[in-house]
Protein backbone atom coordinates (compact mmCIF):
# COMPACT_ATOMS: atom_id res chain seq x y z
CA UNK A 1 0.00 0.00 0.00
CA UNK A 2 1.28 3.49 -0.90
CA UNK A 3 2.30 5.70 2.01
CA UNK A 4 0.27 8.92 2.39
CA UNK A 5 1.80 12.11 1.02
CA UNK A 6 3.27 14.00 3.97
CA UNK A 7 1.94 17.57 3.75
CA UNK A 8 3.16 20.79 5.35
CA UNK A 9 0.97 23.89 5.25
CA UNK A 10 2.40 27.42 5.36
CA UNK A 11 0.10 30.18 6.67
CA UNK A 12 0.33 33.71 8.05
CA UNK A 13 -3.03 34.58 9.63
CA UNK A 14 -6.23 32.84 10.72
CA UNK A 15 -5.50 29.86 8.48
CA UNK A 16 -8.98 29.27 7.03
CA UNK A 17 -7.57 27.41 4.02
CA UNK A 18 -5.20 25.50 6.31
CA UNK A 19 -8.11 24.42 8.49
CA UNK A 20 -10.12 23.29 5.49
CA UNK A 21 -7.14 21.33 4.19
CA UNK A 22 -6.53 19.78 7.60
CA UNK A 23 -10.09 18.45 7.76
CA UNK A 24 -9.74 17.15 4.21
CA UNK A 25 -6.41 15.45 4.89
CA UNK A 26 -7.92 13.70 7.93
CA UNK A 27 -10.05 11.59 5.57
CA UNK A 28 -8.40 8.20 4.88
CA UNK A 29 -9.47 8.29 1.22
CA UNK A 30 -7.40 11.40 0.44
CA UNK A 31 -3.95 9.85 0.44
CA UNK A 32 -2.35 12.72 2.33
CA UNK A 33 -1.34 13.39 5.92
CA UNK A 34 -1.01 16.83 7.55
CA UNK A 35 2.30 16.52 9.41
CA UNK A 36 3.44 20.11 9.93
CA UNK A 37 2.22 23.70 9.87
CA UNK A 38 4.59 26.65 9.60
CA UNK A 39 3.65 30.25 10.27
CA UNK A 40 5.80 33.34 10.04
CA UNK A 41 3.61 35.30 12.48
CA UNK A 42 3.69 34.51 16.22
CA UNK A 43 0.14 35.92 16.66
CA UNK A 44 -1.42 34.00 13.74
CA UNK A 45 -4.89 32.74 14.65
CA UNK A 46 -4.29 29.37 13.00
CA UNK A 47 -1.77 28.39 15.70
CA UNK A 48 -4.59 27.62 18.14
CA UNK A 49 -6.25 25.38 15.57
CA UNK A 50 -3.00 23.39 15.17
CA UNK A 51 -2.72 22.97 18.94
CA UNK A 52 -6.30 21.75 19.15
CA UNK A 53 -5.70 19.25 16.33
CA UNK A 54 -2.40 18.02 17.74
CA UNK A 55 -0.52 19.05 14.59
CA UNK A 56 3.01 20.38 15.12
CA UNK A 57 3.17 24.08 14.28
CA UNK A 58 6.55 25.74 13.83
CA UNK A 59 6.42 29.46 14.53
CA UNK A 60 9.31 30.94 12.55
CA UNK A 61 9.07 34.72 12.71
CA UNK A 62 10.66 36.17 9.57
CA UNK A 63 11.48 39.34 11.52
CA UNK A 64 13.99 37.35 13.59
CA UNK A 65 16.21 36.84 10.52
CA UNK A 66 18.39 39.34 8.73
CA UNK A 67 17.91 37.64 5.36
CA UNK A 68 15.22 35.68 3.56
CA UNK A 69 17.76 32.88 3.12
CA UNK A 70 18.23 32.62 6.89
CA UNK A 71 14.48 32.50 7.46
CA UNK A 72 14.05 29.84 4.77
CA UNK A 73 16.94 27.76 6.14
CA UNK A 74 15.05 27.53 9.44
CA UNK A 75 11.88 26.53 7.59
CA UNK A 76 13.87 23.89 5.69
CA UNK A 77 15.11 22.38 8.96
CA UNK A 78 11.52 21.98 10.17
CA UNK A 79 10.41 20.52 6.82
CA UNK A 80 13.29 18.04 6.78
CA UNK A 81 12.63 16.97 10.37
CA UNK A 82 8.97 16.27 9.52
CA UNK A 83 9.97 14.41 6.31
CA UNK A 84 7.59 16.52 4.25
CA UNK A 85 6.73 15.48 0.68
CA UNK A 86 4.50 18.39 -0.36
CA UNK A 87 4.21 22.02 0.80
CA UNK A 88 0.92 23.91 0.52
CA UNK A 89 1.10 27.69 0.83
CA UNK A 90 -2.29 28.76 2.17
CA UNK A 91 -2.40 32.47 2.90
CA UNK A 92 1.35 32.58 3.46
CA UNK A 93 2.21 36.25 2.98
CA UNK A 94 5.93 35.95 2.28
CA UNK A 95 7.64 35.73 -1.08
CA UNK A 96 9.95 32.72 -1.15
CA UNK A 97 13.34 32.86 -2.84
CA UNK A 98 14.07 31.17 -6.15
CA UNK A 99 16.49 28.82 -4.34
CA UNK A 100 13.83 27.61 -1.93
CA UNK A 101 11.15 27.21 -4.62
CA UNK A 102 13.57 25.40 -6.93
CA UNK A 103 14.55 23.02 -4.14
CA UNK A 104 10.86 22.10 -3.84
CA UNK A 105 10.18 22.06 -7.60
CA UNK A 106 6.72 20.55 -8.26
CA UNK A 107 6.42 19.82 -4.54
CA UNK A 108 5.22 23.25 -3.43
CA UNK A 109 1.80 24.56 -4.40
CA UNK A 110 -0.11 27.77 -3.81
CA UNK A 111 -3.67 29.02 -3.96
CA UNK A 112 -4.33 32.47 -5.37
CA UNK A 113 -7.61 34.45 -5.47
CA UNK A 114 -7.78 35.06 -9.21
CA UNK A 115 -7.98 33.17 -12.46
CA UNK A 116 -4.27 33.16 -13.16
CA UNK A 117 -2.42 34.39 -15.12
CA UNK A 118 -4.75 37.38 -14.60
CA UNK A 119 -4.43 39.52 -11.46
CA UNK A 120 -1.24 38.31 -9.87
CA UNK A 121 -0.37 39.92 -6.55
CA UNK A 122 -2.62 41.61 -4.00
CA UNK A 123 -6.10 43.21 -4.03
CA UNK A 124 -7.37 40.92 -6.76
CA UNK A 125 -11.08 41.39 -5.96
CA UNK A 126 -10.95 45.19 -6.10
CA UNK A 127 -8.89 45.06 -9.29
CA UNK A 128 -11.39 42.76 -11.03
CA UNK A 129 -14.24 45.10 -10.07
CA UNK A 130 -12.31 48.20 -11.18
CA UNK A 131 -11.72 46.57 -14.57
CA UNK A 132 -15.40 45.65 -14.96
CA UNK A 133 -14.58 41.94 -15.02
CA UNK A 134 -17.46 39.52 -15.53
CA UNK A 135 -15.76 36.48 -14.02
CA UNK A 136 -13.42 35.86 -11.10
CA UNK A 137 -12.26 32.88 -9.09
CA UNK A 138 -9.24 31.11 -7.69
CA UNK A 139 -6.32 29.07 -8.96
CA UNK A 140 -4.24 26.31 -7.39
CA UNK A 141 -0.85 26.11 -9.03
CA UNK A 142 2.64 24.69 -8.69
CA UNK A 143 4.80 27.48 -7.30
CA UNK A 144 7.64 28.94 -9.31
CA UNK A 145 10.19 31.66 -8.50
CA UNK A 146 8.05 34.40 -10.04
CA UNK A 147 5.14 35.56 -7.87
CA UNK A 148 1.84 33.76 -8.57
CA UNK A 149 3.40 31.87 -11.47
CA UNK A 150 3.60 28.20 -12.38
CA UNK A 151 1.55 25.42 -13.96
CA UNK A 152 -2.13 25.52 -13.03
CA UNK A 153 -3.49 22.44 -11.27
CA UNK A 154 -7.10 23.60 -11.23
CA UNK A 155 -9.28 26.69 -11.18
CA UNK A 156 -12.75 27.50 -9.86
CA UNK A 157 -14.86 30.30 -11.34
CA UNK A 158 -17.58 32.59 -10.06
CA UNK A 159 -19.55 35.28 -11.92
CA UNK A 160 -19.09 38.91 -10.91
CA UNK A 161 -22.43 40.53 -10.02
CA UNK A 162 -23.29 44.17 -10.59
CA UNK A 163 -23.76 44.85 -6.87
CA UNK A 164 -20.54 43.12 -5.83
CA UNK A 165 -18.05 44.86 -3.58
CA UNK A 166 -14.51 43.65 -2.97
CA UNK A 167 -15.78 42.10 0.29
CA UNK A 168 -18.73 40.21 -1.22
CA UNK A 169 -16.61 38.96 -4.09
CA UNK A 170 -13.84 37.94 -1.68
CA UNK A 171 -16.32 35.94 0.42
CA UNK A 172 -17.59 34.04 -2.63
CA UNK A 173 -14.08 33.33 -3.89
CA UNK A 174 -12.99 32.11 -0.44
CA UNK A 175 -15.77 29.52 -0.54
CA UNK A 176 -14.34 28.32 -3.86
CA UNK A 177 -10.83 28.23 -2.39
CA UNK A 178 -12.06 25.91 0.36
CA UNK A 179 -13.27 23.51 -2.35
CA UNK A 180 -10.40 23.93 -4.81
CA UNK A 181 -7.42 23.33 -2.54
CA UNK A 182 -8.61 19.96 -1.21
CA UNK A 183 -9.46 18.85 -4.76
CA UNK A 184 -5.96 19.79 -5.92
CA UNK A 185 -4.35 17.88 -3.04
CA UNK A 186 -6.37 14.80 -3.92
CA UNK A 187 -5.29 15.03 -7.57
CA UNK A 188 -1.64 15.32 -6.56
CA UNK A 189 -1.85 12.51 -4.02
CA UNK A 190 -3.42 10.17 -6.60
CA UNK A 191 -0.66 10.71 -9.15
CA UNK A 192 2.28 11.44 -6.86
CA UNK A 193 5.55 9.67 -7.03
CA UNK A 194 6.67 10.86 -3.62
pTM: 0.92
Q: Is residue 1 very low, low, confident or very high in pLDDT (cuts 50, 70, 90)?
A: very low
Which pLDDT value is given to residue 192? 67
pLDDT in tens, 28-82: 877 789 999 999 999 999 999 999 999 999 999 999 999 999 999 999 999 999 9
pLDDT in tens, 67-87: 999 999 999 999 999 999 999
Give the residue from 10, 64, 16 showing the smallest Cα distance to 170. Answer: 16
At residue 99's C-alpha, the angle toward residues 43 and 33, to 5°, is: 55
How far apart are the C-alpha atoms of 24 and 34, rounded to whole Å?
9
Which pLDDT value is given to residue 3? 79
5-191 has which fold? Rossmann fold (3.40.50)
HSE (CB half, 13 Å, CA atoms) of 151?
A: 7
pLDDT in tens, 165-176: 999 999 999 999
How far apart are the C-alpha atoms of 4 and 174, rounded to whole Å?
27
Q: Which residues are catalytic?
A: 112
Q: Is residue 17 very low, low, confident or very high in pLDDT (cuts 50, 70, 90)?
A: confident
SS3 label, residue 12: coil
pLDDT in tens, 102-157: 999 999 999 999 999 999 999 999 999 999 999 999 999 999 999 999 999 999 99
Amino acid sequence: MTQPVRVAILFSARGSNMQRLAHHLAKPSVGGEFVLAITNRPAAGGIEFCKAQGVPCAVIDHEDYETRAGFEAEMQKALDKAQVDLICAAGFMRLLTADFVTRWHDRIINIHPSLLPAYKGLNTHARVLADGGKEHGCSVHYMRAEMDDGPIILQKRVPVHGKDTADTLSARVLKLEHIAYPEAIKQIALKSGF
